Structure 1
């Protein structure tokens, strides 16, 4: 399987921006629970309950990737390891929901489908690819990146 093209710019809203929301969370079990809850609550508020499961799974996978690759290098001001923070973002326009996860790591995400569906790791971006219309990443100068996924707001047929 070949990786999807990786646009390095986030798509622009397809119409007038309807709403936005953002949240900073620590890369921890509690932080990820908060991210999932925030995602469900935000989509419910925006009457997008029909997109809740897919969007929550996409946010969970992107946040897990950010924690796996960005958290090990995080250090506090004292030089001691600190819980890395990631930033979640949601932009809603009339036809699409753009979800973003930003982290302090400069390296691009690695799309590497595994040979076995039974592997415990390495399927996150494959899941994101399957559930979103498109996804990609963009650098965030002076350091870090944002990985994004664009999902339709249309109800399933």
Structure 2
């Protein structure tokens, strides 16, 4: 889905992601849903804060597989990669008011990464494993 590169668009991304998980039968109060919601919130906030080009939207895509939920957020600033591939972000200073979001993603997601998607866009992606089904 395409969403406006505004704070309202970022909030809507999280709400729509939680609704989609509910439609897929993933409990809203379970670990998978809360993790996906947190990762979507961080990626969407990054898209509207650091990946924004005036007049251009960002995109959110969720994919359900038997083993995981894949989150993809695409924005319009391929020149602003948050970190080098395979490197963890550094901890911000104790007085810093931002800079901890990707550390949160690192702690919550089972896998994640970033990179240019095209000459005009970049993608942040994460995968959250689903618990095995019993019975």
Runs of 4 or more, structure 1, over 3 Å off, are none
Partners of 2:34 and 2:76 in 1: CA distance: 27
TM-score (norm 1): 0.72
TM-score (norm 2): 0.83
Please state how far the C-alpha of 1:154 moved relative to its aligned partner. Answer: 0.9
Paired residues, what number?
Answer: 123
2:119 is aligned to 142
Partners of 1:138 and 1:149 in 2: CA distance: 12
Q: 2:58 aligns with which of 81, 86, 90?
A: 86
Q: Flag the structure with more relative contact order, 1 or 2, with Cα contacts below 8 A and sequence separation at least 6.
A: 1
- CA offsets per residue over residues 40-69 of structure 1, 9 Å max, x none? 100111112222211111001011111111
Aligned-residue Cα RMSD (Å) equals 1.6
Please state how far the C-alpha of 1:29 moved relative to its aligned partner. Answer: 2.6
Unpaired segments ≥5 residues, structure 2 = 84-88
* Structure whose alpha-carbon radius of gyration is higher: 1
